[in-house]
A and B are shown apart, each in its own frame.
Chain A
Amino acid sequence: MLPVASLLILVPLIFAAVTFLTKTKGQAAGLGFTGSLATLGLAIYAYLNFESSTAAMQFFESMTWIPSLGVNYSVGIDGISMPLILLNAIVIPLLILYSWKEDRESPNRFYGLILTMEAAVIGVFVALDFVVFYIFWELTLIPLFFMVNIWGGEKRAHASYKFFIYTHVASLIMLLGIFGLFYASWQQTGIPTFGIRELIAQFQFFESGLLKDAIFLSIIFGFLAKLPTFPFHSWLPDAYTEAPTAGSVLFILLKIGGYGLFRISLPMLPNTGNPELMIMMLGMLGSFSILYGALVALRQKDLKRMIAYSSLSHMGYVILGAAGLVTLSVSGAMFQQFSHGLIMSILFMSAGAIQTSTGTRIINDLGGLAKKMPKLTVVMMVGFMASLGLPGLTGFIAEFLVLAFSYARLPGFVLIALLVIVITAAYHLWAMQRAMFGVYNEKLGDIRDINSMQVFSMAAIALLVLYFGLNPSPVLNMMISNSEAIVSLAAALGV
């Protein structure tokens, strides 16, 4: 069998390197697309050989790297990472198609960075060693920084630095926690290791409750800031909005914060000094993010900024479901990551297309676009309806699972989230009505609908949103196996 986990990192990385060397736009885009297709092929190969019914690590590879510190290059794929790898592998080629006809400076760097990003994100998903994990974690910063900084909007410099510094500081705090975990374990066992699973297993034997809490909190802080959640979200609206469309979509595909939550934080949680308190804290952050993001979104005049806050609101479900800590609520949270990646890609692509066509994103300056952009309107409608949680589309499956199964543990927070559903519908429909319906705003002149490649790429994502909304099991079953493993750890400890 192929060493798929490593190839999933190597292939996009090699294609990225070659893409950087190309001279023309055609070469860069073509090579980028080929690289992303090759990665998709690998991801599909992995999926076809993947056993959904087990929580065990599959496609495991390991090599010694720095023996004296217990650093290994070890990678593998399980039900937590497989859906997210598929998400990236599916959306990236479509994203390249979407931006195929756009003219921009240095296309070689543009497509090279997209592939670098894909390699880095998949690297985080497959890493089973904290050193490897952290290297890829930090590597994701670089393409995103340049994406915003080079091809961003007017305030790109400010937005890119803000994002970089903010999440970098959060990452350093996370690193602090990782070191704490490493040293405490070394002290106890006498054998140094950076293995993620080994360190989590050792975590329960630490004697000091305070130390455990400190380690848990500093690691989860890195994840919460990356996710992001209220109140650590300030980098998000600026970065998402200033980024070019491709950059915004890459931000959306950056599911590493939520991934860390499931891979590292949730298995540690039952062993912390006060698990009930941690659960309450997460539940509160989740439901507050849902409420807060929706309320701020209601006040936005800029379509893209509204979508950015909407994204914040939706990511709250990931935390809420994780805090619910029963099999189906955790699966729902994982499914929300997958679903959010698809839905928000459509939304950011729509906002991008509107800006390219009309030159503005201010909702009140638009109006009646449906008449001139009928194709965009159809796919955008699917995206908006999915985002407001319409059944039959993926968003509903995730939200229903999170709400219905977190209720037993966190009824108050679930009720808050339920109240927000109306607000969520309100800002989506308000934006749709103002921007797309009504009388066409003639000041915008003669504008064009999205091109055929954009139709293809957005419609393909929309179809996936519909397909997995009607038949979530292929993805959900992988998640359920691993959620069960996480939850049974907690249940064994009476949490």
Chain B
Amino acid sequence: MVKTALEEFAFLIPILPALAFVITFFFGKKMPAGGAIFPILAIAGSFVISFMITLRMLGNPEEVISQSHSWFAVLNFGVLIDPLAAVMLSMVSFVSLLIHIYAVSYMSHDPGKPRYFAETALFTAAMLSLVLSDNILQFFVSWELVGLCSYLLIGFWFEKPSAAAAAKKAFLTTRVGDVMFLTGIIILTSDLLKLAGGFQDGTYLLRFDEIFSYIPQLSALQANIFGFEISHLTIITLLFFGGAIGKSGQFPLHVWLPDAMEGPTTVSALIHAATMVTAGVYLVARTFPMFIAAPDSLMVVAYLGGFTALFAGTMGIVMNDLKRVLAYSTISQLGYMMLGLGLGSVIGLEAVGVSIFHLINHAFFKALLFLCAGSVIHAVGTQDMRELGGVGKVMPITAVTMTIAALSLAGFGIPGTLIGTSGFFSKDPIIEAAYIFGEHSNNWIPYLFSIAAAFLTSAYIFRLIFMTFTGKPRSNYHGHESPAIMTVPLAILALFALVFGGLTRTGFMAFLEETFTNSFVNLNIGNLAGIGRNELIGTTGNEPLLILWLPLIVALAGLAIAFLIYYLRVVKLGPLASMKNPIYRLLYKRYYQHEIYTEFLSLGIVYGVIAFLTQVIDVIIDSIVEAFGIITVGVSEELRKVQTGVVQNYATAVIAGVGLLIILVKLIMEVI
């Protein structure tokens, strides 16, 4: 009885927050706290349903929830909750719920509260709908709605020109990825139709089980691009990954993410932790069976992820804005998740396990970091770390919880034991997997990326902690600890950032690895990997001791450097950290990406040249038309001298024209 009842509620997971959006949008103004109660209750409802489904599924991961309904033509919408979706749904609704509660106080002085809560409810609904999609089209639709909500929320304070600009930038940059994703879907649709020989009754064209069943054939279809033979599967997966690059802020489409902090800090927490950026990682995980049969695509994922992890870390270390450091940190951590997935060509399904495990842990400590930052900004009124210092004395709870989040982000823990933060239990396996990948393929680049990024992560986050919370205030601010409605969510998240990873580590990853063998799809990942000529070896846990300890050692080194410079202040950076140092300048200017992207790419090429030329063509075409017009007017002027009155003129023209036409037709007919 209970079983059937739960399934019947599954569709409510995205519907409840969507309803809350409608209610809050129209009636929020008349409600206390901008109608925040509706989103909070709705998302709490989504969480309860998601969590109960997850609990039930833990016992029997093969029995998934799958419901499909015809949408239009051969396409459907539906619900698919398997282990992967279940943990994501629980995390998204849980973190979003805490952020909503926190926002009641954080946004209390803002007159736009109803709009805020309506839009965040929709944001959550879109993300939940994305997670439980059972087909790629619904996934894309939700994906785009997530993009729309981020646009609306980043530009929440639209009267600020910088916020309006950041919103536009986020939408357009991710749109570049979205178009790649859409192109992938379109090529896939066309291929599936060809392979299936037209529409089949009773099957939905773009449902995941349908797509996965054609993986061998898709892999066999070859296309010739610039002389290279590439399988359609590789093209499609690369295009999907293009979408993921945009949404998950991977190089080179990461530029929108640091600017996205123009929105309220709670929005940043939502974007960086629960919704939006995790969508790209989830896309690769969701379509992992396709990726594993396309080894070239997985290689791209691994390289780009590893590179992004390092690249973003280098910028995080020089930023002076509290939220900007965190933004680069998110980019870097998403790089780790992508790297983890990319290693699937060697470690198989374990890749989904470690990557999503890190995604979940990251959601806890990153939401916590942002909410702590919000707490500081809310109390102190500035987010420039050069003006902070000593905040720990006035905001002890915030300081402690944020330090916990930092320890989790930096991945502190003792290898070989059960002692460690959540981040430790998910980040170290990724680094270890990169080591195994290196050993197996003799390609050490991903490993080097990941270990160097680990060092930078620890350095930049403790720089942030020391600059913000320790020392003497560097400006006149009046801080106070935030109220309980804000600190309680902080404490809850801190608990999760600290112990969730340690408590769940083995079971969690094993659970996720059950994702593709169940009543919905039953795939043999080994066989699929065989299509891609991959040889799978799992992680052994028997790596050399140094390899196990190295992440901790580099993290300690990062911590030590930050401690010496920003806490003890015994090492003075001086000219090293000034604009005179070209490397510092390069990092501080963020590799001049802004200049390169805006001036050169979008303005210089697209906007300037092509659009201008097109407009010239338009003027030319129009001039030709106008020239005809002038001749016609000239002729009609002549006619007007012969006859008067517009009506007669028109009638004559029509009659003469029709007569002429009939003669013409006759003539042509004779000739032909």
Contact = CB atoms under 8 A, between A and B. Distances in A.
Interface string B116-148: 000000000000000000000100110011001
Contacts of B55: none
A18 interface: no
A137 B494 CA distance: 71
Contacts of A408: 190, 193-194
A111 interface: no
A390 B664 CA distance: 49
B164 A433 contact: yes
B2 to A, nearest CB: 32
Contacts, number: 152
B666 A295 contact: no
B639 interface: no
Interface stretch (A8-16, A60-68, A437-445): A437-445
B179 A421 contact: yes
Contacts of A438: 158-161, 164
B625 A166 contact: yes
Nearest to A475: B72
Interface in B227-285: none
Nearest to A214: B668
Contact of B182 (A175, A401, A418): A418
B190 A426 contact: no
Interface stretch (A178-186, A194-202, A346-354): A178-186
Interface residues of B, number: 63
Interface in A351-398: 368, 370-371, 385, 390-392, 396-397
Given A162-B625, A179-B665, A390-B148, A421 B161 contact: no
Nearest to A367: B161
A172 B657 CA distance: 8
Contact of A183 (B140, B626, B669): B669
A175 B658 contact: yes
Interface string A396-436: 11001101110110010011001101110110011011001
B186 A423 contact: no
Nearest to A403: B186
Chain A residues touching B, range: 35 or more
Interface string B169-202: 0011001101100110111011001100000000
A322 interface: no
A331 interface: yes
A176 B665 contact: yes
A96 interface: no
Q: Is the interface of A mostly helix, strand, loop or mixed?
A: helix
Contact of B159 (A235, A298, A368, A411): A368
A189 interface: no
Interface in A231-275: 231, 233-235
B175 A422 contact: yes
A104 interface: no
Interface stretch (B59-67, B323-331, B609-617): B609-617
A437 B175 contact: no
B159 A371 contact: yes
A353 to B, nearest CB: 19
A292 interface: yes
Contacts of A331: 73
B664 A211 contact: no
B159 A404 contact: no
Nearest to A231: B621
A480 interface: yes
Q: Is the interface of B mostly helix, strand, loop or mixed?
A: helix
Nearest to B206: A404
Interface string B598-633: 000010001100111011011001101110010011
Interface string B647-669: 00000000001100110111011
Contacts of B182: 400, 403, 418, 421
Contact of B175 (A162, A175, A296, A425): A425
A132 B182 CA distance: 43
B625 A234 contact: yes
Given A176-B664, A296-B611, A165 B629 contact: yes
B615 A299 contact: yes
A391 B126 CA distance: 11
B393 interface: no
B672 interface: yes
Contacts of A328: 73-74
B172 A422 contact: yes
Contacts of B176: 422
A476 interface: yes
Contact of B165 (A422, A426, A433): A433
A418 B672 contact: no
B672 A439 contact: no
B158 A370 contact: yes
B585 interface: no
A439 B672 CA distance: 67
B661 A172 contact: yes
B672 A405 contact: no
Contacts of B612: 299
B159 A392 contact: no
25 contacts: A162-B629, A172-B657, A172-B661, A175-B658, A176-B661, A176-B665, A180-B669, A183-B669, A292-B618, A295-B610, A295-B611, A295-B615, A371-B159, A390-B144, A391-B140, A392-B141, A404-B190, A405-B190, A418-B186, A419-B179, A421-B175, A422-B172, A422-B179, A437-B159, A439-B161
| Shortest 4 CB-CB contacts between residues of A and residues of B | A391-B141, A437-B164, A295-B614, A437-B158
Given A183-B665, A211-B672, 16 more contacts: A162-B629, A166-B625, A179-B665, A180-B665, A371-B159, A391-B144, A404-B189, A405-B189, A415-B183, A422-B176, A432-B168, A436-B158, A437-B155, A438-B160, A439-B159, A440-B159
